Amino acid sequence: MASNFIFVTGGVVSGLGKGVTGASLGMLLKKRGYRVNMMKLDPYLNVDPGTMNPFQHGEVFVTENGAETDLDLGHYERYLDQPISENSSITTGQIYSKLLAKERAGGLHGSTMQVIPHVTDTIKEAIYKVAEENAPDVTIVEIGGTVGDIESLPFIEAISQMSREMAEERCIFIHVTLIPYLKASGELKTKPTQHSVAKLLSLGIQPNVLVCRTEHHLDTAIKEKIAYACAVPLDCVIENNDCETIYEVPLMLAKEGLDVWVCQYFGYPAVKIDLSEWTKMVGRLIAPEYQVSIALVGKYVALHDAYMSVVEALKHAGGFHNTKVKIKWVDSEMLTMDNVDNYLADVDGILVPGGFGVRGVEGKIAAVHYARTKKIPFFGICLGLHMAVIEYTRHVLGWEGANSTELDVDTPYPVIDLMPDQAGLQIGGTMRMGAYECQLVPGTFSAKAYGQAQVSERHRHRYELNPKLEQEIFAHGLKIAGINPERKLVEIVEIPEHPWFVAVQFHPEFISRPGKPQPLFRDFIGASLQNKK
């Protein structure tokens, strides 16, 4: 039986949470026993977000098989609790690259390459590929951007064609829209939604369901108005009110009956759904007993989306400890060895996440120094490990000017360096990516956290701890806690004489799930809770 499809578009403004809406619905369908796959179609022209500034695009989510993808894939994985493959992140850049390569190879057999049918056919092929990947009952396809954008037109056309090519009951169009509240008149306004639906209609799509983002409850009168003006049934006007945590969204959609409606539309039998575990998990997130304050020291702190998976992983860990994790966003460019106390004296734990380039690194090194010497639980991730090793070798071994060759090519102590296989590669898509094994050293914080001898974690980096300097670096208090069995690369370093000091070369945030925190995040929050002043 071929997959059914749910297409999720966005209207009025961007940032309404199409990803979370789609993922929440996917989770509800999965909990009802249906197999679900999800994908995102991004209209921008880059091949992938790997080379894009996090200020523009937020976090780059890394799949198990090492693709650099849109951050919404992170939501899909967290809600569905299943790995999503690189096929699920499609961009205009990819579609055109593929098509142009085909044209150069003579594969168009003399025809003129056009948006319709060549671009739209290539988009449809990409969608059908995901719809066959693990034989899903339902494939949820999210279209990035807002309806009406020039870039997204071929994608909208492609899904419109799909709906015409298959039986009506196999496709559902969900439009996520905004119902703004006018404070001056105390009114909720439906006009932007009406315009957005009219635009969608002009592109050949009549939405079946409207998910309405709102700050206020939508009463029946306003729902009726929306339903009438946009020609959708009343029970398909779904309220999506602002909530405390994004993990409440599935519960809200279920309360509005969206999953039941979808099952009926697809002709699925009514199966009972058990949301008790999820509801409990949400309860722990909303009303926890304790609180810790964690400093997140990075250079993109002005845009929280740049650290999406780290933030979610901290929340999952907090949920485990019945603890609210309050993040103190610390701009590493502001930090120096002299002023670090002003920023970090009041926090219970310090996290230095991944990053690229030289800006703000001295501030991160100052933060590591503070955590190490003041015995504050410390968690370093990827560039965070580099910072930890640099701090340690500079201040404990006395290696003045120790650095990563990413940040200073002429450093006298290249403690972090480029591996020979990474030299001279083009920038895009060439880092050490995806899941690799890590063998844990018994008795370490990490071994205790994982409770396993070997684990697999996702990577995205070019630089490594320099094997030539390894012996000297680890002859003192800093210790190796994890190593890659094939290439003997250092994956984890720790300081045993410290309440909790762990830095990892990989990105543990990508595999954390609500209700199933990643073990290192879990123990980092545990240690921070114990350290609480």
User: Considering beta carbons, is residue 180 or 354 the nearer one to ligand GLN?
Assistant: 354
Query: Number of helices and strands (H, E) in the chain?
Result: 18, 23
User: Considering beta carbons, is residue 378 or 463 the nearer one to ligand GLN?
Assistant: 463
The least CB distance from residue 393 to ligand GLN, in Å, is 17
Token pair, residue 35, equals 């197999």
Binding range to ligand GLN, per CB under 6 A, among 120-128, 268-276, 349-357, 488-496: 349-357
User: Considering beta carbons, is residue 315 or 460 the nearer one to ligand GLN?
Assistant: 460
Q: Find out whether 211 and 252 touch, Cβ atoms under 8 Å.
A: no
* Total of residues contacting ligand GLN (CB under 6 A): 10
Q: Would you give the binding string for ligand GLN spanning residues 115-154, x where CB under 6 A is met?
A: ----------------------------------------
Q: Which residues contact 145 (CB under 8 A, 6 or more apart)?
A: 10, 14, 42, 43, 151, 152
The least CB distance from residue 463 to ligand GLN, in Å, is 3
> Is it true that the peptide bond before 207 is cis, omega within 30 degrees of 0?
no
- Closest CA relative to residue 174, chosen from 200, 145, 151: 200
- Return the H-helix or E-strand segment holding 365: helix 361-373
The least CB distance from residue 40 to ligand GLN, in Å, is 21
User: Considering beta carbons, is residue 108 or 425 the nearer one to ligand GLN?
Assistant: 425
Token pair, residue 399, equals 């290696």
* Strand 290-298 with 323-331, pairing: parallel
In 3-state terms, what secondary structure has residue 140?
A: strand
Q: Among residue numbers 352 through 411, which ones bind ligand GLN (CB under 6 A)?
A: 354-356, 382-383, 406
User: Considering beta carbons, is residue 250 or 355 the nearer one to ligand GLN?
Assistant: 355
Residue nearest to ligand GLN (CB): 354
Q: Which residues contact 118 (CB under 8 A, 6 or more apart)?
A: 99, 108, 111
Residues with active-site annotation: 382, 507, 509
In 3-state terms, what secondary structure has residue 419?
A: coil
Q: Would you give the binding string for ligand GLN spanning residues 444-473, x where CB under 6 A is met?
A: ----------------xxxx----------
Q: Find out whether 89 and 39 touch, Cβ atoms under 8 Å.
A: yes
**Which residue has 């984890």 as its token pair?**
492
Q: Among residue numbers 73 through 112, which ones bind ligand GLN (CB under 6 A)?
A: none
The least CB distance from residue 84 to ligand GLN, in Å, is 20
User: Considering beta carbons, is residue 354 or 377 the nearer one to ligand GLN?
Assistant: 354
The least CB distance from residue 265 to ligand GLN, in Å, is 42
Largest CA distance in the chain: 74
The least CB distance from residue 462 to ligand GLN, in Å, is 4
Sequence letter at residue 236: C
Which residues lie near ligand GLN (CB under 6 A)?
Answer: 354-356, 382-383, 406, 460-463
